[in-house]
Structure 1
Amino acid sequence: MSWTLSAEHLTDLARGAAILGTGGGGDPLIGRSLVEQAMREHSRTVTVLDPDELDDDIFVIPTAQMGAPTVIVEQIPRGTGPELALRALERHLGRTADATMPIECGGINSMIPLLVAARAGLPVVDADGMGRAFPELQMETFNIYGIPGSPMALAGQNGESAVLDTGADTRRMEWLARGLTVRLGGVAHIAEYAMTGEQIKRTAVPRTLSLALALGRSVREAREAHRDPVRGLAEALTGTLYSHLRVLFRGKAVDVERRTVEGFARGKARFAGKDGRSQLELQFQNEHLVALVDGEVRCVVPDLICVLEADTAEPITTGGLRYGQRVTVVGISAPALMRTPQSLAVFGPACFGLDHPFRPVEEITSSVRT
């Protein structure tokens, strides 16, 4: 069922989207603030469309931000770039979008389509193409199940725009767009994967905005009731496409190595356990890719690895990791359509140079520990 999103939903939604973003997808506070401002300026709420109810011929253009998440903390977006990218792609295609939607979950990338919607008066489809956040544009269920990413439009902070058309070669589209993004200062706003309602129903991960809102709300309500928010999170995931949550580690951050390279935030972080003996290492490229406890894999892409503040379960992005933080690290099972052989060939461990075969998190860690 379609529903109306208003400003009071945004804090919970941003929190839940950042959890699903697995450390990436951009800063949740910045994304939320941009949408709040646009709703206030244009006196609008946002209509969120259920994917199952879409007309087959509705025309949807997803919008997002690409680049290193660390950059926007230093260079706050104006908020005009995503709509500029949308309009550039509409002009190129000679067709106006009926709606927009996310390409991924994440603190800011679940918010960018809401920003466009609030500014342009468009509805947003309750679905996306990653079911989490990934660092590269070809890493989409849209692409895996037959939708080309191009033509795509990019917009910069100073009003620049460009259109790339690489036909069906979405990997090359990513490579060229990444180069433009670096030259635009490390961040660009994009519109891509234009598609119909029929294609969305066939290729998208459904209802991830609704899920993000439910997850963010579950954490807040658990805290207000003085309950364990991680347990609240696990309960909220039960019966969804992301049905398994496993606590992978509890401890303190003791080392963070992070650098911005070729438009990505790359690095690793180490955590010491409460017992003073066990150690966790996380490797990331914008998003967390693999969790190793004492050298053993506990969770690996495409399953989700989420770093939560120990007491509150507030999500911590890869850009926000700091020495001394006390954390709970959880693994969450990815939806089934993200675990197929076709999906693993596009965003499985080998695609990131990891020498670890994919194993479902619920098999690696046998029981929930909360």
Structure 2
Amino acid sequence: MIITDQMIDDIALGATVLGTGGGGDPYSGTLMAKVAIANAVKPVELIPLESVEDDWVVVPSSMIGAPTVAIEKLNSQNQMLVAFEVMEKEMDCQIAATFPIEVGGGNSLIPILVAASKGIPVIDCDAMGRAFPESQMVTFYLDGLPSAPNTLADEKGNVVTLQPIDGLWAEQFARAITEKMGGSAAICDYPMRGVEVKRSALGATLSKSIQIGKAIREANANGQDATQAVLDIVGGVRIVSGKIIDIERNTGGGFVTGSVVIAPLKATSEASQECVCVHFQNELLLAHKGESAADINNDNMLASTPDLISILDHETGHPITTDQLCYGQRVDLIAYPCDEKWRTPKGIEVVGPGYFGYQVSYTPIEKLAIKHAGEE
């Protein structure tokens, strides 16, 4: 399947929904991806995961850092190419294909830039099925695949190559280097053979992004409920429709962190008629009844990582990233199930609420939805 401008628009929209508030700026990513395919050495192809040859060397292409930084310090196609080509030198071979490490915002489009310049395909897969804030939060880490080597590049031409012993060390080193690079950098990690990516990656996630993006676009064209169109694809629930009445956001340590409080619209009959507080670290991680972290407990939990939480514009269904959340926005808060790999004991250990310091246990969104529906 040849990637077109319309597919790029749909990927950007759908992947930003799945990106749960993170994954980079979809607007700049869209512009760069369209220019890249217009100037490509040949049409850029999106290929299914199962078509990857076992002996191919494949490498994901992505950006690392705080989304708020990337708004002011725009990424460049060149720095991503630098990181990718240094990886080829490290691997001493030509890389056969690339793919996004996560489905989210701009990071879903970064591989298109690389593929367009290198004349290689983009694989229809990723390693999260959503976006997560840290490098080890990938299915490859769950499956014990090595992260090394890692290559990072900034817009000035600086390049750093790492040989971390695992994904956890990769995150610690890469995050510190990214801060020195200005808070945002290009990165390639987890190089592997085709047989390994087919075993460990989550397939058809870019296709799912296209499906979601198309559904939002068509719902708006037909005057339908775009949020419901998203829910019809991803499952899950609309937790609340409301107005953002408070937001706290900080940039530091290579992340954007904070919380947002949503007051329900009086005319709705959604699951929650109380204020809802949503916490984030690049991505939306936890939603609960109440207006502060002091209100977090197992009884008032509405959704939590690793399940997906998205904030959509109430009128258009367009996803809003955590760096773009503003006081007064009318929004829909939705939550829906993650891939089953994240619901394993190791998955919960790596990306569950406890990892991020929340003193609550993980409960699947399906069970939370039934619980709170029974309270109404």
CA drift of 1:205 comes to: 1.1
Q: TM-score, normalised by structure 1?
A: 0.94
Q: Does 1:278 align with 2:274?
A: yes
Aligned pair count reads: 360
CA–CA distance in structure 2, aligned partners of residues 82 and 214 of structure 1: 27
Which portions of structure 1, spanning 4 or more consecutive aligned residues, are displaced by more than 6 angstroms? none
Question: Contact 1:269–1:283 (CA<8 Å) still a contact in 2?
Answer: yes
Pick from 136, 145, 148: which aligns with 1:147? 145
Question: Contact 2:41–2:119 (CA<8 Å) still a contact in 1?
Answer: no
Question: Contact 1:7–1:45 (CA<8 Å) still a contact in 2?
Answer: no
CA–CA distance in structure 1, aligned partners of residues 262 and 372 of structure 2: 20
Pick from 337, 344, 351: which aligns with 2:348? 344
Query: 3-state SS of the aligned residue for 2:238?
Result: strand
Code of the aligned partner of 1:187: S
CA–CA distance in structure 1, aligned partners of residues 100 and 371 of structure 2: 32
Which residue matches 1:117?
115
* Deviations, residues 254-291 of structure 1 (Å, cap 9, x unaligned): 11111111110011111111239620101000000101
CA–CA distance in structure 1, aligned partners of residues 118 and 199 of structure 2: 27
CA–CA distance in structure 2, aligned partners of residues 44 and 204 of structure 1: 26
Pick from 325, 334, 347: which aligns with 2:338? 334
Which residue matches 2:195?
198
Q: Does 1:322 align with 2:326?
A: yes
Which residue matches 1:241?
none
CA drift of 1:97 comes to: 0.4
CA drift of 1:188 comes to: 0.5
* Deviations, residues 36-79 of structure 1 (Å, cap 9, x unaligned): 11112236432111111221111101110000011111111222
Query: 3-state SS of the aligned residue for 1:177?
Result: helix
Q: How does 1:240-279 map to 2 (within 5 A)?
A: 244-275=235-266, 278-279=274-275
Question: Contact 1:302–1:338 (CA<8 Å) still a contact in 2?
Answer: yes
Q: Does 1:57 align with 2:73?
A: no
Code of the aligned partner of 1:292: H
CA RMSD in angstroms, aligned pairs only: 1.6
Which residue matches 1:76?
74
Q: TM-score, normalised by structure 2?
A: 0.93
Code of the aligned partner of 2:336: I
Query: 3-state SS of the aligned residue for 2:245?
Result: strand
Question: Contact 2:67–2:256 (CA<8 Å) still a contact in 1?
Answer: yes
Which residue matches 2:270?
none
Question: Contact 2:13–2:105 (CA<8 Å) still a contact in 1?
Answer: yes
Code of the aligned partner of 1:193: Y
Which residue matches 1:136?
134
Q: Does 1:236 align with 2:233?
A: yes
Code of the aligned partner of 1:38: A
Which stretch shifts more, 37-46 or 107-116? Answer: 37-46
Code of the aligned partner of 2:239: L
Question: Contact 1:246–1:368 (CA<8 Å) still a contact in 2?
Answer: no
CA drift of 1:368 comes to: 11
CA–CA distance in structure 1, aligned partners of residues 90 and 352 of structure 2: 33
Gaps of 5+ in 1: 238-243
Query: 3-state SS of the aligned residue for 2:105?
Result: coil
Which residue matches 1:297?
301
Q: Does 1:188 align with 2:181?
A: no
Code of the aligned partner of 2:357: G
Over the matched positions of the two proteins, sequence identity in percent amounts to 36
Query: 3-state SS of the aligned residue for 1:16?
Result: helix
Question: Contact 2:37–2:112 (CA<8 Å) still a contact in 1?
Answer: no
Gaps of 5+ in 2: 268-272
* Deviations, residues 175-218 of structure 1 (Å, cap 9, x unaligned): 01111100000000001100111111111111110000000001
Which residue matches 1:240?
none
Question: Contact 1:245–1:368 (CA<8 Å) still a contact in 2?
Answer: no
CA drift of 1:80 comes to: 1.1
CA drift of 1:236 comes to: 2.5
CA–CA distance in structure 1, aligned partners of residues 151 and 191 of structure 2: 11
CA drift of 1:366 comes to: 2.6
Which residue matches 1:174?
171
Query: 3-state SS of the aligned residue for 1:109?
Result: helix
Which residue matches 1:126?
124
CA–CA distance in structure 2, aligned partners of residues 44 and 338 of structure 1: 37
CA drift of 1:335 comes to: 1.3
Pick from 304, 311, 314: which aligns with 2:315? 311
CA drift of 1:310 comes to: 0.2
Question: Contact 2:216–2:317 (CA<8 Å) still a contact in 1?
Answer: yes
Query: 3-state SS of the aligned residue for 1:248?
Result: strand
Query: 3-state SS of the aligned residue for 1:100?
Result: strand
CA–CA distance in structure 2, aligned partners of residues 315 and 191 of structure 1: 27
CA drift of 1:330 comes to: 0.2
Code of the aligned partner of 1:245: G
Code of the aligned partner of 1:202: R
Query: 3-state SS of the aligned residue for 2:39?
Result: helix
* Deviations, residues 242-264 of structure 1 (Å, cap 9, x unaligned): xx221011100011111111110
Code of the aligned partner of 1:333: P
Code of the aligned partner of 2:64: M
Which residue matches 1:360?
364
Q: Does 1:35 align with 2:33?
A: yes
